Structure 1
Amino acid sequence: MLRVAVFGVGAIGGYFGGILARTGHDVNFIARGDTAAALRQRGLRIESGTTGDFLVHPVQVFEDPAQVGSVELVIPGVKAWQLSEVGPMLNQMITEGSAVLPLQNGVGATDDLAKALGRRHVLGGVAKIFCYQVAPGHVRHDGATPCLVIGEHDNRVSKRLKSLQEAFQEAGVNTEVPEDIHIAVWSKFLMITSVSGVGTAEGVAIGKLRTERRTRQLLMKSMTEIETLAHSLGITLADDIVPSTLNFVDSLPAHAMPSMQRDFMDGRPSELGTLLSTVRQLGETANLNLPVNRALCELLFPLE
């Protein structure tokens, strides 16, 4: 049994923390305000057509990470831009062998955590799932068979990595340990940035995005530009990365939307800076012409 802390109980933290709790792991949720109140009163409700609907109740809820004590695994469930703020708070729960598994979208999103906690504690992670928070303490899995990709930053297969893989597998989540975690992170980045950027700019769900010729062409161009950027930085993505990513997008429910698009629609801070802005900044540093992603960035920034 793992002792786990989930810091921030939104969609991703709620889903993966909930599924570990359902399997019997000692999961401690760190939340405040309405979320903490909902978890205490009604528990954590997960809806999923793949792993099944379930309720975790009662829930171990804390508002201060210092109250949790040491854990083997920390899942930061906050947005990518909040990682720099929470890093020092996570230190209170970490011992020598502890692992921190950030699943935020973006490349370089874990750098701030590594600075605060030490690189040895921070894993690379990719969550292949579409889910969102219906209400505090209520998460809906909306598309894609849940899959985790996890790895040490030096790509060695450590004992703790095997332990985490086994725990998530037993909880019903397909969990992969790739040869190169950095390629896995960039592959997800290519997909989520293009779908988020074009989907938000067009204001349509994935079904319409992928079937209309014009928007599908925009998706392909955005992906191709990010592939070019990755190669310029020494990240060798799969030869078929663009068509295989489009095939994945084609498999998603037609009504699905990425979290950046949902945040934009609801007037919340989004991952625009983590996704499109990163592409633009890295492209400028590498002297690359990335017109589609630059145009999406310039269009959306004034609207956020």
Structure 2
Amino acid sequence: MRIAVIGAGALGGTFAALLSRAGHEVEVTARGAQLSAIRERGIRLSGGFGVANARVAASETLSARPDLVLLCTKAQDAEEALVQNAAALEGAAALDGGGGLDGVPVIVVQNGLDGVQTAERVLPNSECFGLLVIIAANYTTPGEVRVTTAAPSYLGRGTGPADAETLRWRGVLAEAAPVIAQSNFVGAQWTKLIVNMLNGLPAITGLTVQEVVAHRGLRIALTRSMREAVQVGIASGVRFGSLQRLSDARLRLFAHMPLWLGQLLPLSMKRRMGNVPNLGSTQQSLRRGQRTEIDYLNGAVERAGLVAGVATPVNAAITALVHEVEQSGEFLSAAHAIGRINAFG
């Protein structure tokens, strides 16, 4: 099968390499040093899914209509990436009579809540799905990705049971990596958003996720951000999907726990993560000098809280501080970060 991966960063590179190893014809989009490295040496994958050296087609925009698209850009880049690649394929179709991108199934591999809707808006004739990824992968140097935590991914759409098309594409992806067909996908997106609260504080402090959770003051701030997110979801009428040992019942219980007891949630996540240092995707973006997707993580909780009438001072503070680090290029000490967060309320 011809599969396109738009955005060959850490996760895009991981899936491109695994799908190529499974025998699919893969084309990726990339830019700059990443594009040059992939063209010269392929994508070198190591870590949790084993070793692969995938020689894949690579260009700035897609050169041929695929059978399936994996959209693996950061959330803030998704719409522009789809528009650019659709335009490129429409231009190619005018020359050679091939088809464009609209109508090709799209699997959105992104954090946040809005990715599937964005793809549906840009490509109204495409079947669009979401893939929730728990894999931790580091884009170390151009063309090289190391998987530090291997885990299943969760494919689905909507709020109902996994449908026939979801099961079909799950079968294709499962040839390359563990994938589960997810019912109540929207609820599972909210559960993943709770998990993604792990990203903000490492990006502010420069610490690993494990170090943040081990630090008592940062762990309390993290627990507060998670609790705000769950409370916003409940107020928004969300039924949380089961994901990573989290369920609707467990998260609703967590929302009402005293803070000292609620800290068990991030501590349990740290145990499952293992000892390989995990920077989190937001910090990785900062270290590469790229914009982060914090507005689609903690910022998404803040926006949803405004609609639902739930105060989210910790998520607002984390969003603002990540943007501050983006501008300054300087991480904050743990004590400074905690003080700034507490000042928000």
Structure 1 gap segments, 5+ residues each: none
* Gap change, CA 1:110 and 1:119, over 3 Å in 2: farther
Are 2:94 and 1:94 aligned?
no
Which residue in 1 is equivalent to 2:93? Answer: none
CA distance in 1, matches of 2:231, 2:125: 28
Counterpart pick for 2:154 among 149, 152, 164: 149
Equivalent pair of 1:125/1:185 in contact (CA under 8 Å)? no
CA contact (8 A) 1:124 1:153 kept: no
Aligned AA (1:15) = T
- Deviation by residue 1:225-272 (Cα, 9 ceiling, x = unmatched): 100111111112212135566523321134111110222244321112
Please report how far the alpha carbon of residue 78 of structure 1 lies from its aligned counterpart in structure 2 after TM superposition: 1.5
Distance 1:201 1:95 in 2: 39
Q: What is the alpha-carbon distance in structure 2 between the residues aligned to residue 119 and residue 153 of structure 1?
A: 17
Report the identity percentage: 24
What is the CA RMSD across the aligned residues, in angstroms? Answer: 2.1
State the structure with more CA Rg. 2
Q: Relative to 1, partners in 2 of residues 1:36 and 1:121: Cα closer, same or farther, differing over 3 Å? A: same
Contact 2:223–2:266 at 8 Å: present in 1 too? no
Letter in 2 for 1:74: V
Q: Verify: 1:132 aligned to 2:135, yes or no.
A: no
Name the counterpart of 1:62: 59
For this pair of structures, how many residues does the alignment match? 295
Does residue 271 of structure 2 align to residue 250 of structure 1? yes
Q: Which residue of 1 aligns with 2:204?
A: 201
Aligned mates of 2:267, 2:128 — CA distance in 1: 30
Distance 1:146 1:223, change over 3 A: same
1 or 2, which has the higher strand percentage? 1
- The CA distance in 2 between the partners of 1:187 and 1:200, in whole Å, is 21
CA contact (8 A) 1:72 1:94 kept: no
* Alpha-carbon offset, residue 36 of structure 1: 2.4
Distance 1:233 1:273 in 2: 19
> Is this contact kept in 2: 1:46–1:140, CA < 8 A?
yes
Amino acid at match of 2:64: V
Aligned partner of residue 267 in structure 1, secondary structure: coil
Listed one character per residue, the Cα deviations across residues 15-44 of structure 1 (whole Å, up to 9, x for unaligned) are 011101001011112233322221121111
**TM value normalised by structure 2:** 0.79
**C-alpha distance 26-240 of structure 1, shift in aligned 2 (>3 A):** same
For residue 219 of structure 1, the aligned residue among 219, 222, 232 is 222
CA distance in 2, matches of 1:246, 1:189: 17
Structure 2 residue aligned with 1:289:
311
Q: What amino acid is aligned across from residue 250 of structure 2 in structure 1?
A: D
CA gap of 1:211–1:245, structure 2 versus 1, over 3 A, is: closer
Q: Does structure 1 conserve the Cα–Cα contact (< 8 Å) formed by 2:219 and 2:266? A: no
Change (3 A) 1:157 1:206: closer
> How high is the TM-score relative to the length of structure 1?
0.89
What 5-or-longer segments of structure 2 have no aligned partner?
Answer: 90-99, 241-247, 255-263, 327-345
Is the 8 Å Cα contact of residues 159 and 186 (structure 2) preserved in structure 1?
no
SS in structure 2 at match of 1:288: coil
Contact 1:74 1:100 in 2 (8 A): yes
After TM superposition, list the pairs within 5 Å mapping 1:1-304 onto structure 2: 2-48=1-47, 50-57=48-55, 59-65=56-62, 67-69=63-65, 71-91=66-86, 92=89, 93-94=100-101, 96=103, 98-118=104-124, 120-143=126-149, 145-153=150-158, 155-171=160-176, 173-192=177-196, 194-237=197-240, 238-241=248-251, 246-254=267-275, 255-304=277-326
Cα distance 1:299–1:119, how it changes in 2: closer, same or farther (>3 A)? farther
- 1:47-85 deviation per Cα after TM superposition (whole angstroms, max 9, x unaligned): 12x21111113x2223332x212x221011211101111
Shift of 1:87: 2.0
Alignment partners' CA distance in 2, 1:245 and 1:153: 28
